[in-house]
Amino acid sequence: MKLLVLGGTRFLGRHLVQQALDAGHEVTLLHRGRSGPGLFPQAEHLVADRNGDLGVLAHGHWDAAIDTSAYVPRHVHTVAAALAGRVGQYQLVSTISVYADPNAPGTTEDAPLAALADPQAEAVTGDTYGGLKALCEAAAMEGFEGRCLVSRPGLIVGPHDPTGRFTWWVQRMARGAAGGPVLAPGEPEAQVQFIDARDAAAWMLRQAEQGHVGTFNLSGPEEPLTMRGLLDSARTALGNPAPLVWVDEDFLLAQGVGPWMELPLWLPRAQGGLLQVDITRALDTGLVCRPLAQTVLDTAAWAASAPPAPADAPPRPAVGLAPEREAALLAAWQAR
């Protein structure tokens, strides 16, 4: 198969390209040449900024294109125009943030989508990200009518994750006994969902090979996992003997602890639906999730040896509780 990856040198796309090359596919990447310099010398690299001229796409034919780097509908329109019918299947990597009510549990692909107050807006912020991706989806359906697949991943985790969210928990557990008791947030039985980037990539590649179309929530694991299950698995995989201390939501919120970023994967009850989307359709089309321990161990190994982000990398929001803050919160919880 001739595969075009729009992106492909950072995280999800990087795994996708690696797997495609391993499977013997002929891969072309389009990127600006900033992330992952020197990666994949055996592939064809088209260097362009998709906010500008896409003349580099003027020649060639691909069986499938997987677009990991479209954030505003203009990105999709320009690719559709540049490829002018010289691609079979087009896959847009969207997000579960497209839903109008992302907090409702059990959301299926048919749920209503978010609408932006200003459909011309292009600034990607926490408020506009989902609405913009919904417009990207509409642009994809129009520009690649009848041959478009949209995946809506939940939290993507694993080696090379630049966001540091799941990785923070892995590194927290990797501190072992020296890290002391672990603050475990909220309801032990609250469901959590995420997908190893390598499993998402394998599913996407399979859909490309089979030319499937449609819209798919893409998260894991296959069987529902609780916050307790996640933290216990990570502790066991990394051999951390320190106990978990469950601290309830009201206390954490009263102490000003920030859900999701300061305490990754923790969401207040009212927002828990974001971690309970319906993934039946992805499972029915071949999604396989590797054992959690493998994701934990591989993420730990990668994080321990990952080079620091390049100086010119865009700034990222802070992630995770500082050790002193965690200790102070635990002391206050126990003293209440």
Binding site for ligand NAP (CB under 6 A): 7-14, 31-35, 49-51, 68-69, 93, 95, 153, 155-156, 163
Give φ, ψ of 150 to 5 degrees.
-115, 125
Give the integer Cα–Cα distance in Å for 331 and 16.
44
**How far apart are CB 329 and ligand NAP at their closest, in Å?**
26
Closest to ligand NAP by CB, 35 or 276: 35
Residues 214, 144: contact at Cβ < 8 Å? no
Closest to ligand NAP by CB, 51 or 236: 51
**How far apart are CB 334 and ligand NAP at their closest, in Å?**
34
Cα dihedral sign, 328-332-333-334: positive
**How far apart are CB 66 and ligand NAP at their closest, in Å?**
9
Closest to ligand NAP by CB, 70 or 238: 70
Closest to ligand NAP by CB, 256 or 308: 308
User: Which residues sit opposite 66 in a β-bridge?
Assistant: 5, 91
Q: Which residue is nearest to ligand NAP (CB)?
A: 13
Residues 187, 249: contact at Cβ < 8 Å? yes
**How far apart are CB 259 and ligand NAP at their closest, in Å?**
15
Task: Return the number of other C-beta atoms located less than 10 Å from residue 95's C-beta.
Answer: 23
Closest to ligand NAP by CB, 46 or 242: 46
Q: CB-based contacts of 240: which residues, under 8 Å, 6+ apart?
A: 173, 174, 175, 176, 177, 179, 182, 234
Closest to ligand NAP by CB, 107 or 240: 107
Residue 241: asked if its preceding bond is cis (omega within 30°), the reply is no
**How far apart are CB 204 and ligand NAP at their closest, in Å?**
10
Task: Return the number of other C-beta atoms located less than 10 Å from residue 2's C-beta.
Answer: 16
**How far apart are CB 317 and ligand NAP at their closest, in Å?**
13
Q: Is 4 helix (H, G, I), strand (E, B) or coil?
A: strand
Q: Is 144 helix (H, G, I), strand (E, B) or coil?
A: coil
**How far apart are CB 327 and ligand NAP at their closest, in Å?**
29
Closest to ligand NAP by CB, 74 or 147: 74
